[in-house]
């Protein structure tokens, strides 16, 4: 229960602008924005699908699952680390270094750890499918390859690159880039640098050059777009500013210029 209290009860003495930016960055990553996943899957949706309703469902389920995941992980790590907040560091190290130590000290930890990482495997598999589908779709459209050829080619490329990166916790652990291991570095590069930059350029491109109507017209195919005005303002002005702040914060945190 001490861990649950730590997870649920807010400590406003530690609340700051960096806290808000960190939460925004996590939300940005959790929703899989600027990866091409939403665009690829959206292109497969039927025209009679209600996009606003789908967005609300994504928001609700994403938040609920994130809350449950935190409820499982944070209290247990907090307790088994003796209340050491440093053990709650985000990223791959929490998953592959801290949690195995927690399972090792738990009753039936071997069983619980096996089930946990099996579920992580399924989560990673479904995420990989969505990420691969974006690349496969692009290759099929640009090069005219068959789905089978494109899928096999992308899978081999990702398998080789992923195998090399995964060795950053083993034989290649001596390799450090800006003080980060291979997996942490590529996680930082993709999620904290490239994704915000792509999102910023997307907002500018659609909001100021192509025109936001290309999206709002699609939403209005099966009903009124209730938040159209808010969407236009958000796309053109609010979102780019927030994304720039997220980008600056993420880079500053990785370089050690600021701490959360």
Domain ranges within the chain, ordered by starting residue = 2-6+15-254
Asked whether residue 6 carries a pLDDT value surpassing 80, the answer given is yes
Under the banding of pLDDT at 50, 70 and 90, the label for residue 30 is confident
Helix, strand and coil content of the chain, in percent to the nearest 5, comes to 80, 0, 20
Please write the tens of the pLDDT for every residue from 51-99. Answer: 888 888 888 998 898 898 888 888 888 877 776 776 666 666 778 877 8
Query: How far apart are the C-alpha atoms of 32 and 11, rounded to whole Å?
Result: 28
Q: Model confidence over 166-179: pLDDT tens digits? A: 888 888 888 888 88
Query: For residues 76 and 195, what is the distance between their CA atoms, to the nearest angstrom?
Result: 31
Higher pLDDT, 37 or 244: 244
Range with top average pLDDT, 4-8, 88-92, 187-191 = 4-8
- 228 within 8 A of 216, measured Cβ to Cβ: yes
15, pLDDT greater than 70? yes
* Helices 109-143 and 147-166, packing angle to 10 deg: 130
Looking at residue 186, its pLDDT comes to 87
């Amino acid at each position: 229960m001490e861990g649950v209290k730590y997870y649920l009860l807010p400590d406003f003495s530690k609340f700051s602008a960096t806290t808000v930016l960190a939460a925004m960055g996590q939300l940005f990553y959790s929703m899989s924005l600027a990866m091409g996943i939403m665009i690829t899957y959206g292109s497969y949706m039927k025209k009679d699908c209600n996009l606003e309703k789908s967005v609300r469902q994504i928001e609700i389920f994403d938040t609920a699952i994130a809350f449950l995941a935190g409820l499982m992980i944070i209290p247990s790590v907090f307790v088994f680390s003796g209340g050491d907040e440093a053990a709650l560091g985000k990223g791959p190290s929490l998953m592959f270094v801290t949690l195995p130590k927690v399972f090792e000290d738990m009753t039936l930890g071997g069983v619980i750890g096996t089930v946990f990482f099996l579920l992580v495997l399924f989560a990673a598999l479904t995420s990989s499918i969505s990420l691969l589908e974006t690349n496969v779709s692009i290759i099929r459209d640009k090069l005219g390859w068959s789905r089978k050829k494109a899928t096999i080619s992308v899978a081999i490329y990702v398998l080789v690159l992923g195998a090399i990166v995964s060795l950053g916790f083993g034989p290649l652990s001596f390799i450090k880039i800006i003080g980060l291991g291979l997996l942490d570095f590529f996680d930082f590069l993709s999620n904290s640098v490239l994704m915000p930059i792509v999102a910023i350029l997307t907002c500018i491109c659609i909001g100021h050059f192509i025109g936001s109507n290309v999206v709002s017209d699609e939403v209005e195919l099966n009903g009124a777009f209730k938040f159209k005005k808010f969407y236009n303002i958000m796309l053109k002005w609010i979102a780019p500013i927030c994304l720039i702040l997220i980008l600056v914060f993420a880079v500053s945190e990785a370089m050690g210029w600021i701490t959360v």
